């Protein structure tokens, strides 16, 4: 291992102390996790850590005899000790749009909104949908829900009205927070009118009573009397204090929808106690958190990364978070590096897609900035190639900052496998080692444990505090999705390789999920949307490698009427059914798809054909129509 890759020992934990933690968490998990839990503020401290069970009906159960409030943990206890410390810095995409809130100020803003929600009739256990861009109100809304025991459901600004409607109906949200209009570089996104359309589409299934509209651009938007209210007007009427609801550790804190191998997105449920313990523990350990850190996680709050490392982890630890509204290279390349220099960001947590895009802009862009304040840098969401890792290490981290590639999922609540800064020596391109208490395991397709070095399905042998409790209103789907492939284990959906010394390398999803720039997209979601267009017989979506996005989507479509069908119909259907972010890279209009005799589409072949990788196509004689393969190869060749 070259000297440069040896992470410096952080002031927090030495490598030896970290190794001790790994041992303790392994030998006596009950004591270890109760000790971690005691770092939070509880109304009733838990006496028991886990009663989880991966067998039978599956039960995820952490700290269940404890009671707490998540917003008190993120605000009140810091207001008592450091009221004037900056909790949140917000920078809008235009230079003059900015604000900075101390813990005291953030507490007051959260309480005012929590009081509005209570006045509007939102009760403990009700769902509240948050559909906001990266503005301070997005964070405030999440914490206000936590304060009154409402379950937040943060919805991505890029979802189509259909995508929003599906999630509004499934969650049964009673209140929605949206923006008038959101900014994305020069583009304007009509958040309010898209939300109006979504609520209309829910029809009788909608339980939405009120829509609170945050004036992000100040644009005039239609307001439905009685239902729609101005956020600013409402919070102005309330007091800056609001008693917090006492929650069981197992009461849901939020739902977050993610994609799987079926068309319907699933609402993963995260609880209050275990999730917060995991958020705080992993934020402190992985990033070697220091009190003076300015922590910038660039993820949108509508993804799990934004939940855990924009909001809950750093605020539970009393840190300072930066929320930046804009794009990495708008109005010009290097904008994010300027933000780091402007605010003295110490921890920068982003994605391989951002790193790849920055590499393309040329080294001069990053070299013309100082970046001297950075202490630790990280990525998440997709594999980072050794080359991109090295560039990030050398050019952004200037060879001084530990690089933490972090493997985890919506389901895991927080980081699971990484090279914790200052504690574990990273290996470029590898996810590295499981965190203390994480029982990573590899199983073969027969469900047998792979010992030592080898490759297999990445599973978890035991529960960890951040594990999702269930799928909203569908525990059986939770059990079936995650606990039947490898009985007795949580199955992640990823494949991995393990070296002799225990380092993990993620090999990618083994199910029909494609990762486009860190967006997790189910191929079935795409195919369902295409089918809604009514002009197709069937379609198949596959993911293939993409230089910038990691993976790109390719759709093969069999139209009802070949001569009149235009591929743009597929784009329209995907944009309407899922959202513009899922629009495919390439569409091939074909006569038929390769299928087995029992009618199953052979996606492996489609993937290889789309990649022009014609070696090892295998035995085609078992296909229903073997000739279709040559036909598709010829078609792809002429169209690329
Ligand atoms: O395939 C893995 C990939 O992203 C999936 C989880 O996606 P999502 O639930 O949207 O959460 C993303 C942010 C936590 C995983 O199943 N993935 C995530 N991180 C990495 C990764 N693949 C390789 N390396 C990573 N560091």
**What's residue 6's pLDDT?**
34
CA distance 461 to 262: 25
- Give 185-215 as a DSSP string: TTEEE-HHHHHHHHHHHHGGG----EEEEE-
Pairing type for strands 175-179 and 210-214 reads: parallel
Confidence of residue 597 (pLDDT cuts 50, 70, 90): confident
Q: Measured between alpha carbons, how far is 439 from 240 in angstroms, rounded to an integer?
A: 44
- Cα dihedral 296, 302, 308, 314, rounded to 10, equals 40
DSSP annotation of 155: -
Rounded-to-integer distance, Cα 455 and Cα 619, Å: 25
Q: Which of 382, 411, 481, 497 to mutate to test the pocket of ligand 1 (most atoms within 8 A of CB)?
A: 382
pLDDT at 262 > cutoff 80:
no
Distance CA 79, CA 85 (A): 9
Tell me the C-alpha distance between 628 and 320, whole Å.
58
The arithmetic mean of pLDDT across residues 89-99, rounded, is 96
* Residue 268 pLDDT greater than 90, yes or no: yes
Structure tokens at 375: 């202490």
Give the model's pLDDT for residue 82.
97
What's the 302 CA to ligand 1 centre distance in angstroms?
15
In short, whether 494's Cβ falls inside 6 Å of ligand 1 is yes
Ligand 1 centre distance from Cα of residue 263 (Å): 19
Most distant CA pair in the chain, distance: 73
Residue 21 DSSP SS3: helix
DSSP state of 277: H
Residue 377, CA distances (Å) to 285, 315, 344 in order? 14, 19, 13
Q: Residue 2's pLDDT band (boundaries 50, 70, 90)? A: very low
Paired tokens of 63: 């700290």
Instruction: Verify whether ligand 1 is closer than 6 Å to residue 93 (CB atom).
Output: no
Reply yes or no on whether the pLDDT at 308 is more than 50: yes
The ipTM (two decimal places) reads 0.99
Residue 520, ligand 1, Cβ within 6 A? yes
Q: Which pLDDT score, from 0 to 100, does residue 397 have?
A: 98
- Provide, for the chain, the percentages of residues in helix, strand and coil under a 3-state DSSP scheme, each rounded to the nearest 5: 35, 25, 40
Cα within 13 Å of Cα(221), Cβ side: 27
Mean pLDDT of 285-292: 96
Q: And the tokens for 219?
A: 């644009």
Q: How much is the pTM? A: 0.94
Please give the structure tokens belonging to residue 465: 């505090």
Residues 502-559: tens digit of each pLDDT: 999 999 999 889 999 989 999 999 999 999 877 899 999 999 999 999 999 999 999 9
- Strand runs (DSSP E) across 65-216, as ranges? 67-68, 86-91, 98-102, 127-131, 151-154, 175-179, 182-184, 187-189, 210-214
Q: Give percent of the chain with pLDDT exceeding 70.
A: 98
Range name among 99-103, 123-127, 145-149, 579-583 with the lowest pLDDT average: 579-583
Residue 234, pLDDT > 60, answer: yes
Q: Which residue, by CA, sits nearest to atom 8 of ligand 1? A: 409
Q: Contact at 8 Å (CB) between 177 and 137?
A: yes
Long-range contacts of 220-225 (CB under 8 A, 24+ apart): 220/180, 221/180, 221/181, 221/190, 221/192, 221/193, 222/192, 222/193, 222/196, 224/196
Cis check: omega of the bond before 331, within 30 degrees of 0: yes
493 lines ligand 1 (CB under 6 A): yes
* Any ligand 1 atom below 6 A from CB of 115: no
Find out whether the peptide bond into 443 is cis, omega within 30 degrees of 0: no
The pick from 304, 407, 412 for probing ligand 1's pocket by mutation, whose C-beta has the most ligand atoms within 8 angstroms, reads 407
- Report the alpha-carbon angle 204-206-208, nearest 5: 140
The response to whether residue 552 sits with its C-beta less than 6 Å from ligand 1 reads: no
Question: CA–CA separation, 416 vs 85, rounded Å?
Answer: 30
Average pLDDT estimate for 91-106: 97
pLDDT on residue 599: 85
pLDDT in tens, 150-196: 999 999 999 999 999 999 999 999 999 999 999 999 999 999 999 99
Tokens 């391989």, located at residue: 352
Cα–Cα nearest to 493, from 475, 513, 474: 513
Report residue 79 as tokens.
């207001």
Which atom of ligand 1 lies at the shortest distance from residue 418's CA? Answer: 26
Atom 26, ligand 1: which residue's CA is nearest? Answer: 407
Q: Which atom of ligand 1 is nearest to the CA of 492?
A: 16
Q: What is the pLDDT of residues 318-355, one digit of tens each?
A: 999 999 999 999 999 999 999 999 999 999 999 999 99
Where residue 11 falls among pLDDT bands split at 50, 70, 90? very low
Average pLDDT (307-313) is 98
How buried is 84 (Cβ within 10 angstroms: 0-12 exposed, 13-18 middle, 19+ buried)? Answer: exposed
Distance, CA 351 to ligand 1 centroid (Å)? 10
What's the full length of the chain, in residues?
640
Confidence of residue 147 (pLDDT cuts 50, 70, 90): very high
| DSSP assignment string, 305-346 | HIIIIIIIHHHHTT-EEEEE-S-TTSSSTTHHHHHHHHHT--
pLDDT for 89 equals 98
For residue range 393-405, list pLDDT tens digits in order: 999 999 999 999 9
Supply φ then ψ for residue 101, to 5 degrees.
-120, 130
| H or E element at residue 235 | helix 231-236
- On average, the pLDDT of the chain sits at 95
**DSSP-based three-state secondary structure for 516:** strand
């Amino acid at each position: 291992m070259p000297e440069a890759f040896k992470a410096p020992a952080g002031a927090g934990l030495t490598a030896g102390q970290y190794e001790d933690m790994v041992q303790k968490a392994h030998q006596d998990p009950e004591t270890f996790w109760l000790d971690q839990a005691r770092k939070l503020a509880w109304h009733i401290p838990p006496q028991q850590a886990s009663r989880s069970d991966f067998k039978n009906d599956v039960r995820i159960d952490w700290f269940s005899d404890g009671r707490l409030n998540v917003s008190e943990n993120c605000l009140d206890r810091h207001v008592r000790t450091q009221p004037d410390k900056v909790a949140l810095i917000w920078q809008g995409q235009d230079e003059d749009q900015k604000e900075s809130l101390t813990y005291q100020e953030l507490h007051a803003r959260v309480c005012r909104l929590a009081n509005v929600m209570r006045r509007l009739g939102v009760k403990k256990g009700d769902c509240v949908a948050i559909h906001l861009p990266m503005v301070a109100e997005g964070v405030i809304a999440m914490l206000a829900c936590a304060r009154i025991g409402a379950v937040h459901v943060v919805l991505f600004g890029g979802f189509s009205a259909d995508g929003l409607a599906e999630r509004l109906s499934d969650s049964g949200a009673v209140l929605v927070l949206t923006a008038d209009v959101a900014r994305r570089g020069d583009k304007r996104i009509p958040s309010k009118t898209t939300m109006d359309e979504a609520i209309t589409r829910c029809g009788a299934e909608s339980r939405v009573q009120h829509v609170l509209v945050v004036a992000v651009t100040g644009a005039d938007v239609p307001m439905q009397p009685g239902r729609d209210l101005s956020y600013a007007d409402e919070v102005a009427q309330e007091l800056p204090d609001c008693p917090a609801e006492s929650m069981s550790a197992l009461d849901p804190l939020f739902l977050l929808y993610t994609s799987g191998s079926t068309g319907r997105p699933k609402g993963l449920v995260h609880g209050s106690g275990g999730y917060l313990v995991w958020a705080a523990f992993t934020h402190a350990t992985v990033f070697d958190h220091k009190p003076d850190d300015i922590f910038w996680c660039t993820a949108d709050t509508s993804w799990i990364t934004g939940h855990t490392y924009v909001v809950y982890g750093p605020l539970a630890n009393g840190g300072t978070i930066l929320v930046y509204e804009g794009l990495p290279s708008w109005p010009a390349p290097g904008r994010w590096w300027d933000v780091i220099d402007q605010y003295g960001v110490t921890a920068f947590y982003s994605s391989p897609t951002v790193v790849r895009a920055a590499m393309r802009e040329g080294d001069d862009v990053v070299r013309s900035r100082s970046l001297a304040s950075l202490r630790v840098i990280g990525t998440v969401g997709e594999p980072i190639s050794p080359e991109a890792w090295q560039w990030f290490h050398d050019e952004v981290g200037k060879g001084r900052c530990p690089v933490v590639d972090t493997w985890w999922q919506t389901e895991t609540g927080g980081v699971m496998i990484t090279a914790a800064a200052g504690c574990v020596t990273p290996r470029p391109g590898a996810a590295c080692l499981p965190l203390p208490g994480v029982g990573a395991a590899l199983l073969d397709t027969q469900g047998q444990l792979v010992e030592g070095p080898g490759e297999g399905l990445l599973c978890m042998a035991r529960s960890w505090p951040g594990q999702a409790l269930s799928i909203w209103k569908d525990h059986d789907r939770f059990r079936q999705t995650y606990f039947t492939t490898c009985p007795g284990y949580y199955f992640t959906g990823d494949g991995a390789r393990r070296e002799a010394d225990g380092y993990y390398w993620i090999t990618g999803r083994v199910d029909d999920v494609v990762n486009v720039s860190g967006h997790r997209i189910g191929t079935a979601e795409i195919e369902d949307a295409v089918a809604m267009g009514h002009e197709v017989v069937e379609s198949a979506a596959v993911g293939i490698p993409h230089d910038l996005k990691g993976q790109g989507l390719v759709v093969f479509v069999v139209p009802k009427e070949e001569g009149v069908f235009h591929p743009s119909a597929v784009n329209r259907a995907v944009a309407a059914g899922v959202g513009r972010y899922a629009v495919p890279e390439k569409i091939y209009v074909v006569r038929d798809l390769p299928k087995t005799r029992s009618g199953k589409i052979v996606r492996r072949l489609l993937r290889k054909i789309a990649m022009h990788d014609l070696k090892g196509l295998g035995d085609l004689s078992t296909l229903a129509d073997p000739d279709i393969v040559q036909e598709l190869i010829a078609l792809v060749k002429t169209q690329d």
